[in-house]
Structure 1
Amino acid sequence: MTSSSSIDPTTIRAYRETHFCVEGDMPFTLQIGQKSAALAALHRKSGVESSAFVTAWNPYSRQCDDETNAALQKQLVEELISRSLSFVNGVGRHPASEWTEASVLVLGISLEAAKRLGMHYEQNAIVWCGANAVPELVLLR
């Protein structure tokens, strides 16, 4: 899902190349546009039809220090807990660089709620995973 955006095309390309690693009991990796049997199984096991991979790190791709990023991510996790949303910890990793960002896969969240969450934490994009278990890049700016 992309349309005209104020996000640099190089950044968008990096998002598309990123490996979105879901941790937990049965770790797996999501890639944009590639159906994930492991994600479909997690959706079934969790009784949900959708999920979203989100982070609070580096708002609007402004590089923040580790302490700031950790505080932002803690705030995101606390919000998810307060809203009784189930999630699995994860990390976004670009395969050609040292870049990583702590993230979460939020289970059972609607697309609109996931977009609002991403916008609240000033993110350029989220990764949306619908019932077809094919991760989609959703640009927020």
Structure 2
Amino acid sequence: MNSASIINPATIQAYRETHFCVEDDTPFTLQIGQKNDALAALHKAAGVESSAFVTAWNPYSRKCDDETNAELQKKLIDELETRSLRFVNGVGRHPASDWAEPSLLVLGISLEAAKRLGRQYEQNAIVWCGAEAVPELVLLR
């Protein structure tokens, strides 16, 4: 964890506890620090070595209305499509609350590109998944 982060420690802890649900043909759930065989299989099938779980909802964890969030997410989807980046729909859900945010698992994106995307959409963090298929929380602030 980045001790210099300006993100509230409780928020960081909530991110670490979140279930990052990938809504692929065979749905699966990513958890921070836990190797995921379904993700490894998806990477292999897609011919990629990495992916990132990102969202445009609730910039900097400020609660926005559904209409604003939907517009932000559409901009993110449009950008990914313009850049010819493949993605799978998903949702981030905290297991102890009703919080949920529509998200995307972007396939084949580099760590630096994923961080830029997260910063562009004013996110506190992204979930990075490298060749080992172990999701990592990457703080952006």
State the TM-score, normalized to the length of structure 1: 0.98
Residue in 1 aligned with 2:79? 79
* Structure 2 unpaired stretches of 5+: none
SS at match of 1:91: strand
2:65 and 2:104 map into 1 onto residues whose CA distance is 19
User: Residues 114-140 of structure 1: CA distance to partner in whole angstroms, max 9, x if unpaired?
Assistant: 000000000000000000000000000
Change (3 A) 1:134 1:2: farther
Mind listing any 5+ residue stretches in structure 1 that lack a counterpart?
Answer: none
Q: Which residue of 1 aligns with 2:107?
A: 107
Q: Which residue of 1 aligns with 2:23?
A: 23
Superposed structure 1 runs of 4+ greater than 3 Å apart: none
Aligned to 2:49: 49
- Please report the RMSD computed on the Cα atoms of aligned residues, expressed in angstroms: 0.7
The 3-state SS of whatever aligns with 2:88 is: strand
How many residues are treated as equivalent by the alignment? 141
Question: How far 1:24 moved relative to its partner?
Answer: 2.0
Equivalence map 1:121-132=2 (5 Å):
121-132=121-132
2:135 match: 135
